[in-house]
Amino acid sequence: MKNRKFILLFALLLGLSVVLAACGSGSDKEEKESSGDSGSSKEAANEDFSAAMVTDIGGVDDKSFNQSAWEGLQEWGKENGLEKGNGFDYAQSNEKADYIPNLNRLIRDEYDLIFGIGFELKEDLQKVAKQYPDTHFAIVDDTIEADNAVSITFKEHIGSFLVGVAAAQKTETNKLGFVGGVDSPLINKFESGFIAGAKSVNPDIEVEVEYAESFGDPAKGKIIASNMYNNGIDIIYHASGGTGNGVFNEAKDIKQNDPERKIWVIGVDRDQHEEGQIGDHNVTLTSMVKRVDVAVKNVTEQAMNGEFPGGEKLEFGLEEDAINVATTNEDAMTKEIVDSVNEWKEKILNGDVEVPQTHEELKGFIDSL
């Protein structure tokens, strides 16, 4: 009988200890949360966050648009102690048929945020964004409609206007060239702004325009540049991604054979000063700098911190310091030219000049000069 009472008492005590332990652990959890330890769980979530991008056919080393985006993603990764393939990565596209497989691979690898770099990915990114609502997406240089995607665009026409001003100040032949990648509304913004800026300085300037129909064909870019320089054009502005490497190569070849000849290239997206270096000379007059790197990094940080701007359309321009005119080549970009560019910049910021974005708007702009 005594043994039975003892066993019963022992069972009651054991049950009570289990209850107390459970209560204690619950209060400990509440105490940790109230003392701010929940921040550590957020920090852990941040450490698990990953981002990747799909290039267009220009490639990650196009020294222009894709490379700028990749540099932004790399900078974000570096600041968060991550490495390529472990927290951030890219998928190289060599042709349009690669876009969907590359997007799907990054989705299977469970990246939290996936960028499509370039307007050519619009249709495919729109499709996968609807198929995978739990993944965040971003497109650069176009807009898509999806609550889990953000659209990132820039005011390229304004930056192009300003380098057009610089070209008009620098040219000695009054003949300029524009080499575009794919003939599209986006690249038409570059073309229209450039022509408007040049003709604002000198309405009699001639601008020859040609599209390579590719962002990854430097051989085609070289041929186009050769024809333009042979026709008396002394400054070419390219908005053609990797195709523009051919423009630089042709200018450097000419300069190497005739060091006294004054010919120039205007770079795009990144400061392409290094691409123009040949011996003691540099054929890069300036570059229309579009801070794709800053936009990619900022959106990635927002997503990591739980503030992803899904469904929004972000536009970056002069006000955000996301559009600039490079002045690295101080010998070529004289104080007179820089002052003129800054004067036109102020006119644009003050609303005194509305820069055209389309061929139709350009025609009206020129007619008003």
In order of their start, the domains of the chain are: 49-154+294-303+310-315 (3.40.50.2300), 156-290+334-367 (3.40.50.2300)
Model confidence at 282: pLDDT above 60: yes
Q: What is the DSSP string of 316-328?
A: E-TTTT-EEE---
pLDDT higher for 11 or 114?
A: 114
Length of the chain: 369
Model pTM score: 0.83
Q: Position of tokens 């206007």?
A: 161
The band of 88, judged by pLDDT with boundaries at 50, 70 and 90, is very high
Q: At what angle are helices 359-367 and 185-201 packed, to 10 degrees? A: 10
Mean pLDDT across the stretch 89-94? 96
pLDDT in tens, 28-75: 333 333 334 434 333 444 668 999 999 999 889 988 889 999 999 999
Q: What is the pLDDT of residue 38?
A: 37
Give the 3-state secondary structure of residue 1: coil
pLDDT in tens, 141-152: 999 999 999 999
Q: What is the pLDDT of residue 63?
A: 84
Q: Where are the alpha helices (DSSP H) in the chain?
A: 2-34, 38-48, 65-79, 99-108, 122-131, 156-170, 185-201, 218-230, 244-257, 292-304, 335-349, 359-367
pLDDT in tens, 228-253: 999 999 999 999 999 999 999 999 99
pLDDT in tens, 311-353: 999 999 999 889 999 999 999 999 999 999 999 999 999 999 9
Give the 3-state secondary structure of residue 213: coil
